[in-house]
Amino acid sequence: MALAEFARCKRVFDTLRPVAAAVALCALFLFAGRTPIRAEDHAALVEPPPTACERAVFRVVVDVGHTLDVPGATSARGIPEYAFNLQLAKDVREALVDAGFSKTLLMITTRKPWGGLFERAARANGMAADLFISIHHDSVPEFLIETWQYAGQENHFSDRFKGYALFVSNDNPQHAASLRFGSLLGKELEARGLRYTPHYTLPLMRHFRHQLLDQAAGVYRYDQLIVLRNTHMPALLVEAGSIVNRDEELELAGAERRTRTSAAVAAAVEEFCAERAPPSAGKMVKRTVPAKATAQHGLFGSALFTR
């Protein structure tokens, strides 16, 4: 009985097997026919790379810290901070223009604080700037200052600390972007052999202490600075170095130090601009596939269908 049933099933299978094979073969041809064969007919759609930074329209405001009448700190050899700020700011602007940021503006203010500080922020906002950089040079609190004689005059100095410091405000509406630019600039300064000063974290600084936000780049938090908190764009205040440190003062007065700092700013702005460039609109582009690859690969990578 079992042998008879087995024989009957085998005859049915043998009858249907050619039909099943034919159906499978037709399906294979059907789907294979949908696979492009000619190289000139075969194209792959791919996303283009992200839009690059448009340097010609990216506007940077380089603010010269302090004014001619209220010049800020005095260096160890009696030079007002404003003179250092103005020279470095001019070099920074030149480096940015040379790098293609042709809309970079140098901001010089004559109005005294506090009104002059609000004026700086308002002017930058009115320019619809993409980035605000305020250039300064550092000193130390009065209780750390010492006295020495230079060129027959009594002057004041402190050789305890040297190095740059970068400041951002968490009250700036784009504080995360401000911190990001500060981190980029600190990285570029460090790459050029410059080091930030850690003294703003020390207890001896008393109420002048500031939180260090990026310990690799030397970016500190200073929420109360008007030019940082009142600007609508990412904003950074740069203390390029200490002019009351007698050795660093000489470096800061020289072209070589200014060149390194300016180059670091330009490199950081380039990277920052590229990161903030708008994403691609998603336009699709064609990429031709070589004829050899098309001919060799059909359905499931099979080489059955070649011409």
Would residue 254 count as lying in a domain? yes
The answer to the question of residue 165 being in a domain is yes
Q: Beta strands of 16-174 (E only): which ranges?
A: 43-46, 60-64, 105-107, 131-138, 146-150, 153-157, 165-168
Give the residue numbers spanning the domain of 227.
Answer: 60-276
In a domain, 2, yes or no: no
Whether 231 is in a domain gets the answer yes
The residue to which tokens 């780049």 are assigned: 217
- Classify residue 297: in a domain, yes or no: no
The pLDDT tens digits along the chain (307 residues) read 444 544 454 454 454 444 444 434 334 333 444 444 444 444 333 444 455 899 999 999 999 999 999 999 999 999 999 999 999 999 999 999 999 999 999 999 999 999 999 999 999 999 999 999 999 999 999 999 999 999 999 999 999 999 999 999 999 999 999 999 999 999 999 999 999 999 999 999 999 999 999 999 999 999 999 999 999 999 999 999 999 999 999 999 999 999 999 999 999 999 999 999 876 544 444 444 444 433 333 322 333 223 2
Instruction: Report if residue 300 sits inside a domain.
Output: no
Quote the tokens at residue 307. 């011409």
Residue 258: which of 245, 243, 246, 274 has the closest Cα?
243
Specify the pLDDT at position 8. Answer: 52
The H or E element containing residue 38 is none
**pLDDT at residue 14, as a whole number:** 52
CB count in 10 Å sphere of residue 48: 11
CA separation for the pair 145, 139 (Å, rounded):
9
Domain count, the chain: 1
Residue 233 lies inside a defined structural domain of this protein: yes
Tokens, residue 183:
């981190």
The predicted structure's pLDDT at residue 278: 77
Query: CATH number of the domain that 174 lies in?
Result: 3.40.630.40
Is residue 141 a part of any domain in this protein?
Answer: yes
Do the bridges between strand 219-221 and strand 212-214 make them parallel or antiparallel, or are there none, so unpaired? antiparallel
